[in-house]
Amino acid sequence: EAEMRLVAETGPALARLVLLDGQPVGYVHAIDAAHWGSDLPEGMPAGTWDVDSFIAEPSARGRGVGEAALELLADEVFTTTLAVALSVFVPVADEPAIRAYERAGFQWARVWEDPISGPSWMMLRHRPAM
């Protein structure tokens, strides 16, 4: 909730509801990773935007809705900002989420010790070549 509030209150950030058949089923956001502070993980390129997503409606899970929402968010970030990459941090134990982010174009970069979630994959999706 705190992360969502920061995104909502930050100028250079995007927050979007995920709709399925016109009904809200989830949420995605993107924010310049520099807003999280100077203690960014090694290997994260300067100019990376951090994303997060969740599909709250159980009937919408496992249907590709999250991947589609991430694709739309990535397109919006890369066409409206100078972001060089997108990042996401996924607990290493959450294999379904890791696989979903892989399907959305993210690649494993390194393991990072998240202070809340513990060991997490830092996954990156780089700006597509022009």
Q: What is the pTM of this model?
A: 0.89
Q: Tell me what pLDDT residue 95 has.
A: 93
**pLDDT tens digit sequence for 2-52:** 677 777 777 788 999 999 999 999 999 999 998 877 777 889 999 999 999
The chain-wide mean pLDDT, for the chain, equals 90
For residue 94, CA distances in Å to 16, 101, 117, 126 come to 23, 11, 11, 22
Beta-carbon-side half-sphere exposure of residue 88 (alpha carbons within 13 Å): 27
Q: Tell me what pLDDT residue 2 has.
A: 67
Mean pLDDT calculated for residue range 82-100 = 94
